[in-house]
Amino acid sequence: MLQTTWVALLLGFWSSLYLIDAFLKNYHLTSLHYFHLLEETGISISIGQLRWYTTCFNRVFIRLGQFKPFFLHMWFSFGVAFGLISMVISLFVLTLMVFNTLSQQPVDQQVLTPVMPGVNLPTSQMSYYLLTLLICGILHEFGHALAAVREQVHVNGFGFFILILYPGAFVEMSTEHLKVIAPIRQLRIYCAGVWHNFIIVLAALLVLLLLPTCLLPFYTIGNSVVVSYVVQGSAVSGPRGLVVGDPITSISGCRVTSIDDWYTCIAVSIKEGNLGNCMALNVIQDLDTSMAGAFMKKSKCSFAL
């Protein structure tokens, strides 16, 4: 789907939602019931934004915030240290980027790359990207809420929002309580979100590293290589050719058990030339019906994997 189509769909959706919301709020037969429904559900609609606010998680925050007080104190203190270190590193990286931009110094690799859907982020991966943003946003605000309860700051509520296409979460806490506590306690609350995001990154890396080991009982390793892509129109494509997922165990008698073996056997086949295998004429005709009747000999030699 074209980018202009996506933009048109988004504009149409948000325009329709806003007009319906405005109509229900101003029409005298529905305005009273509609305002009551919005108040009961905690839903609010504005231009390009849909929000849901609730207090049903407050008890959960209080219980978790009072669990293992010393552990939470140390946990969020580590978050303060991480926040200060990451702030210094961020300032250094941003300064380096500005310097390289102003001095037009060539760089081998971009340090920070903005993510732009449809440009360097395929639209087929948008759902994964948005889901990741939502999970990170929830755990980010969850950290703020736990730290606030731990530092005796009242949490008013928690909510989710969608801004055009961007999903996220937010936590509302008492500003008066936050202002009167000590600066170090404020830092524990402020740094809790980014600290939790850093822990998410470490957890994701750990899962990525352990994934082959966890999936080992469901797969076999060292028996063959698997076709991951087939170029359309090539000699091995078509209904009687290779398809994605086919295992390749040998090439002209050369055993293939890994990617290194694959390249080695390809190189050996190129050096030795097209040896091929002799096959009966009727077998060839059964394998390739488009060439039926074209073979006039009793046998034919063809190269086979």
Q: Which residues are catalytic?
A: 141
Residue 117 pairs with which residues in a beta bridge? 121
The four Cα atoms 45, 50, 56, 59 give a dihedral, to 10 degrees, of: -120
CA–CA dist 196, 200 (Å, integer): 6
CA–CA dist 99, 101 (Å, integer): 5
> Could you give phi then psi for residue 170, rounded to 5 degrees?
-150, 155
The residue type of 193 is: G
Token pair of 247 as six digits: 């295992």
> Could you give phi then psi for residue 213, rounded to 5 degrees?
-70, -40
CA–CA dist 142, 157 (Å, integer): 11
CA–CA dist 107, 65 (Å, integer): 46
- Which distant-in-sequence residues (6+ apart) come within 8 Å of 174 by Cβ? 153, 154, 155, 156
Residue 248 pairs with which residues in a beta bridge? 225
Token pair of 234 as six digits: 């090539």
Query: Three-class SS of residue 166?
Result: strand
Q: Which helix (H) or strand (E) holds 67?
A: none
